[in-house]
Structure 1
Amino acid sequence: MKVEKLRQRLDRNRPMTSVTIHMPEDVVEDLKRVAPLLGFSGYQPLIRAYVGQCLRVDLERLESETVTALVASLKRKGVSDALIDEALGEIVRTATI
Structure 2
Amino acid sequence: MIPDKLKTRLNKDREMTVITVRMPVDVVDSLKAIAPLKGMSGYQALLKMYVGEGLRRDEAAHVFGPAARLAEALRKRGVPVELIEAAAQEAAAA
- Please give the range of the TM-score, normalised by the shorter of the 2 chains: 0.5 to 0.7
AA of the residue aligned to 1:67: R
Q: 1:6 to 1:72 in 2, by over 3 A?
A: closer
Identity fraction in percent = 42
Give ranges in structure 1 of 5+ residues lacking alignment. 78-97
| Greater relative contact order, per chain length (Cα 8 Å cut-off, separation 6+) | 1
Q: 1:17 to 1:56 in 2, by over 3 A?
A: same
1:8 aligns with 2:8: yes
Q: Considering only aligned residues, what root-mean-square deviation do their CA atoms show, in Å? A: 2.5
Q: Structure 1 or 2: larger helix share?
A: 1
1:23 aligns with 2:11: no
Q: Secondary structure at the match of 1:31?
A: helix
- Please report how far the alpha carbon of residue 31 of structure 1 lies from its aligned counterpart in structure 2 after TM superposition: 0.1
1:44 aligns with 2:39: no
- Please report how far the alpha carbon of residue 14 of structure 1 lies from its aligned counterpart in structure 2 after TM superposition: 1.9
Q: Measure the CA separation in 1 of the matches of 2:6 and 2:62.
A: 17
CA deviation string 1:40-80 (max 9, x = no partner): 1000011111001100111110131222456689xxx9xxx
Aligned counterparts, 1:74-85, within 5 A: none
Q: 1:68 to 1:38 in 2, by over 3 A?
A: same
Give ranges in structure 2 of 5+ residues lacking alignment. 80-94
Larger Rg: 1
Count of aligned positions: 74
Q: 1:71 to 1:14 in 2, by over 3 A?
A: closer
Q: Measure the CA separation in 2 of the matches of 1:32 and 1:38.
A: 11
What TM-score, normalized by structure 2, do the two folds share?
0.64
